[in-house]
Amino acid sequence: MDKFTKITGVAAPLPLINVDTDMIIPKQFLKTIKRSGLGVNLFDEMRYQDDGSENPDFVLNKPAYRSAEILIAGDNFGCGSSREHAPWAIKDFGIRCVIAPSFADIFFNNCFKNGILPITLPQEQIDMLMKDAEKGENARMTVDLEAQTVTTSDGETFPFEVDAFKKHCLLEGLDDIALTLEKAPAIQSFEAQAAVSRPWV
């Protein structure tokens, strides 16, 4: 997995609540058997018009935000389906960090597996970040995972919380499966015990 340490980049404002994973990547793009190449279809239905041309009003189509690395969004971001295609599309587009007042559970977990940092901040701070992001490409924010801070273009800094284990994995770019396989003896002993206590499983 790609490491996440510190990024400084353009933040795109997406002031919508309940952005669901169907919106992030519609189902017609779930037919792939690969993880890559989904960035072009990120937010497909909002980003493109019926004839396939770009919708100039959509934030990621505006010149200032075409290379955004951070996304500022509303409450309950990533709700709905468990499709990991959502974080794959976000990452493939080039966004490495999503900041919102709250996230849906499965999407939140999926981000960490893909080197994306989801940050939860109170609504008042999101409002300030949203304003900062609306300034366009001159407003570059900095997200520092080690220090657990988001810094606006004006130098205002907001601390954020992150699960210690997830932080460690992101900073080091660790593979979960390899970590778990180190615990193979514990898994085997659990299985031996379960074979006695719950043999029907």
Partner 1 sequence: MSPKTLYDKIWDAHLVDTTEDGTSLLYIDRHLVHEVTSPQAFEGLRMSGRDVHAPDKTIAVPDHNVPTTPDRVNGIENEESRIQVDALDKNARDFGINYYPVDDIRQGIVHIVGPEQGWTLPGMTVVCGDSHTATHGAFGALAHGIGTSEVEHVLATQTLIQTKSKNMKVEITGKLHPGVTAKDITLSVIGRTGTAGGTGHVIEYCGEAIRDLSMEGRMTVCNMAIEGGARAGLIAPDETTFEYIKGRPHAPKGAQWEAALAWWKTLYSDDDAHWDKVITLDAGEIAPVVTWGTSPEDVLPITATVPAPEDFSGGKVDAVRRALEYMGLKPGMKLTDIEIDTVFIGSCTNGRIEDLRAVAEIVKGKKVKDGMRAMIVPGSGLVRAQAEEEGLADIFLEAGFEWRLAGCSMCLAMNPDQLSPGERCAATSNRNFEGRQGRGGRTHLLSPAMAAAAAITGRLTDVREVM
What residues make contact with partner 1 under the rule CB under 8 A?
Answer: 15-18, 20, 22-23, 26-28, 30-35, 45, 50, 74-76, 79-84, 87, 102-106, 109-110, 113-114, 163-165, 176-177, 180-181, 183-184, 186-187, 190-191, 194, 198-201
Q: State residue 59 phi and psi, 5-degree precision.
A: -55, -45
**The amino acid at 136:** G
Measured over the CA atoms of residue 7, residue 171, residue 123 and residue 16, the dihedral's sign is: positive
Q: What's the closest the beta carbon of residue 60 comes to partner 1, in angstroms?
A: 17
Q: What's the closest the beta carbon of residue 27 comes to partner 1, in angstroms?
A: 5
Name the CA dihedral angle for 40, 46, 47, 53, rounded to a multiple of 10 degrees: 110
Q: Which is closer to partner 1, CB of 22 or CB of 144?
A: 22
Q: Which is closer to partner 1, CB of 22 or CB of 137?
A: 22
Q: Which is closer to partner 1, CB of 11 or CB of 130?
A: 130
Closest residue by Cα to residue 58 from 103, 118, 13, 116: 13
Q: Which is closer to partner 1, CB of 8 or CB of 27?
A: 27
Q: What's the closest the beta carbon of residue 30 comes to partner 1, in angstroms?
A: 5
Q: Which residues contact 124 (CB under 8 A, 6 or more apart)?
A: none
